Amino acid sequence: MTALLREGLRELGLDESRVETLERFAALLLKKNEVMNLTAITEPDQVADLHFLDSAALLTLGEDLRGKRLIDVGTGAGFPGLPLRILEPSLQLTLLDSLGKRVNWLASVCNTLGLEGVECLHARAEEQAL
């Protein structure tokens, strides 16, 4: 997984220094996925490619997210929000999901990974918009 992430981030022109944090997130995701349905993707290399690198690619689309606020509505297992926040530490992130136990797990992940500036919010999008 390490080599795939490093190569993919390099190809995207992104900083490779956060690979260890992405790998720690992957380990937490795959462990929790054994008891809670978070993702159908269960192979580490596929998590790297289809979750992390696909999310990371959003950082290359021209919008500079440094210091911006972003809300990931219906975040599920934290995609694309958490990989974006891991790769861009100045991003202020809100993870919004309607399932409380998923939101609680995401808050635990953020705490474990030492991610500040992330709010995990349990609400339905249509209710939160009011």
16-50, pLDDT tens digit by residue? 999 999 999 999 999 999 999 999 999 999 999 99
Read off the pTM.
0.95
Closest CA to 44 of 108, 1, 96: 1
CB atoms within 10 A of CB 98: 16
CB atoms within 10 A of CB 37: 10
Taking the C-alpha atoms of residue 27 and residue 109, their distance in angstroms, rounded to an integer, is 10
Q: Residue type for 118, please?
A: V
